[in-house]
Amino acid sequence: MTKLNRVLPLATLMDVEALKAEAGRAACKYVEHGMNVGLGTGSTVKYTILELGRRVKEEGLKIIGVPTSIATESLATEVGIPLASLDDLNGLDIVIDGTDEFDPQFQLIKGGGAALLREKVVAQSSARMVVVADQRKQVATLGDFPLPVEITPFSHLTTVRALEKLLGCSVTLRTNEAGTLVTDNGNYIVDAHTGPTISNPLEMERMILNIAGVVQVGLFINMCDVVVLASSDGVVVLEKA
């Protein structure tokens, strides 16, 4: 992983939110006229969506967006980005999304926003994936952030027990103010508290997906090409070797 170029020098006193905003906007440089663009979900990517909306209105940028969540669809519509279903397009040129963690091999943990299934479908359909993140998401080994797994509501406790047996850690059902969190797809999210031990994410992904009640797991393997990183040094771009 190599620091390639400084996008913008920033004062050290700038807060994390301001850095995230700069990173989100900087990622827009990868979007060109005529592209089909996957629009991710999360607190950093919202700044990307806002900037793309500005470019559509003020610069005449012609793009078609594919949102990865209902929340992203609502924001993109609000700022004037034309949207389409992935089924109606012949793939995507690029997806810009956030991450909960990334390691030196650019492997990701995603799903903190409970949109991992749609995010992975969109990422797999994209020719290039650009991730926007702040430096807290950069880790040596994945797993300090609990690994999200989307599961079916049917016999979900059986699936939880199977995951705990497989991974040797606690697995908790994610909740919100309404009770059990339900995804945009009508499923549940559980979080596996593995700790920073995921040194072979490809093998872990394979094992988890082998459990019948699992719909998808928040390990994004060999998908990310670029990370636009908000760090204490400013906003920098990291590209996969």
Active site residues: 119
Tokens 């939110």 sit at which residue? 17
State the Cα–Cα distance between residues 67 and 49, nearest whole angstrom: 10
SS3 assignment for the chain? CEEEEEEECCCCCCCHHHHHHHHHHHHHHHCCCCCEEEECCCCCHHHHHHHHHHHHHHHCCCCEEEECCHHHHHHHHHCCCCECCHHHCCCECEEEECCCEECCCCCEECCCCCCHHHHHHHHHCECCEEEEEEHHHECCCECCCCEEEEECCCCHHHHHHHHHHHHCCCEEECEECCEECECCCCCEEEEECCCCCECCHHHHHHHHHCCCCEEEECEECCCCCEEEEEECCEEEEEECC
For 230, list phi and psi in degrees, rounded to 5: -90, 115
